[in-house]
Amino acid sequence: MCNDVIRIGMAADVSSMKRLSKIAYGELKRYDVPSYYKVCAISKAAGILSARKKSIRRGFPTKNPCLSRSMLVSCYGFKVENGLLRIPIGEHRFERIALNPHTLATISQPGVEVRSFTLTEHSLSLCIAKEVEEIEADSAVGIDRKLRNVTVGNSERVTYYDVSKAVEIAEATRGIISSFKRNDARIRKQLAAKYGQRRQERVRQILNHVSKSVVMKAKANKQAIALEDISGIRELYRAGNGQGRRFRGRMNSWPFHELKRQIGYKAAWQGVPVITLTKGETKGTTMDCPRCGERLQSAVREDSTHYRQLWCNVCKRLDDRDLIAVINISRKAWLRFGHAEGGSGEAMAGNPTGTVILRVDASKLCHADKMQ
């Protein structure tokens, strides 16, 4: 049905849901299915056609879209009863699918509502929603994502998570795929897709443990989570930039967005606020001292020791660059909430402050600090 709607929409050059429904709904009468499945097919086709039109407008080459895998997506008519998902398939006819214990335990939680389902040849996915009250954060915790580790913390506590296993999995997968010698592009593509999916699932499991730990600790300590905006960083590792092929492959397999995605939906489920700082706000997070604000210096010696540490001439301290980054990120995120680090005062007799500023409040202090 969706492919028929796509064909009709391309012939009429229509991509909006309303216009596509008017010209395509009558053409779907030959399908003996409930009417709301037809509406769902039109909705999915409208999204595909809209994305195609957007790509053409941006100047990207596009092919005629087509769904090659059968799937059923709907938010109508289904029901969960006795541990089974009941899906209507026709006039008083239903198909029932057994749900596993983990799914049943999740959807049976108070306030959880199943909104829609997606059924394919090999999987069933449920879209669920939950009313969550956001916690009132007492502090913020910064996250610094690196290729082999993830650093989480603030000025009070810093935790390091080792994710170097994900790098080893990616390198092993690239080695396996490059060892294929069969001169058949179709077979090589199938094998590469198989091992690529295996790598993706293994890396996702590693990041699942890290993101779960980060969110649960933030919830227990009533902390907001702050992330850097590092979108577009892959542009630094393109062919022609003077970098080696192995280095580009390693950096382009860095799953920084997957970690952000997992933290985002898990934090939303637990009511933990998440902040994404702009590139301007996070500029110089590893160059400025979090205590005095002075410019830091590299502590690399001739024997290559302390290559990950920075030295402050004012504080006379040597700290790890990841620790410095998360402290600066957490402080800038806390300022986003409108909390000043210092006190404020008003010009009046007996004011103990040294420098008197007329009618300065905390929010103005925060704004001035962010603008500097």
Write the CB contacts of 191 (distance below 8 Å, at least 6 apart in sequence).
177, 180
Element (H, E) at 45: helix 35-58
Please choose, from the candidates 161, 160, 144, 164, the residue with its C-alpha nearest in 3D space to the C-alpha of residue 253: 164
Pairing of strands 223-228, 309-312: unpaired
Distances (CA, A) of 199 to 171, 253, 255, 277: 10, 10, 11, 30
Judge whether 222 and 135 are in contact, CB under 8 Å: yes
**How many angstroms separate the most distant Cα atoms in the chain?**
87
Q: pTM (2 decimals)? A: 0.74
Q: Can you read off the two tokens belonging to residue 102?
A: 């983990």
Q: Is 81 exposed, middle or buried (0-12, 13-18, 19+ CB in 10 A)?
A: exposed
DSSP state of 295: B
Q: Is 331 exposed, middle or buried (0-12, 13-18, 19+ CB in 10 A)?
A: buried
Please choose, from the candidates 135, 128, 86, the residue with its C-alpha nearest in 3D space to the C-alpha of residue 108: 128
Sheet hosting strand 71-74, strand order edge to edge: 71-74, 112-120, 124-130
Q: Which fold has domain 139-332?
A: Nucleotidyltransferase; domain 5 (3.30.420)
- In the three-class reduction of DSSP (H, G, I as helix; E, B as strand; rest coil), residue 81 is classed as strand
| pLDDT per residue as tens, the chain (372 positions) | 999 999 999 999 998 999 999 999 998 988 888 888 999 999 999 999 999 999 999 888 888 898 888 888 888 889 998 899 999 988 888 999 999 999 999 999 888 999 999 999 889 999 998 888 888 888 999 999 988 999 999 888 889 999 999 999 999 998 888 888 878 888 888 888 999 999 999 999 999 999 999 999 999 999 999 999 888 888 888 888 888 888 888 888 889 999 999 999 999 999 999 999 888 888 878 788 877 877 877 766 545 555 677 888 878 777 788 888 888 898 888 888 765 444 444 444 444 444 333 333 333 333 334 333
Q: Is 242 exposed, middle or buried (0-12, 13-18, 19+ CB in 10 A)?
A: exposed
Domain residue ranges in the chain = 2-68, 73-130, 139-332, 341-371
Q: How many CB atoms lie within 10 A of CB 126?
A: 17
Judge whether 46 and 16 are in contact, CB under 8 Å: yes
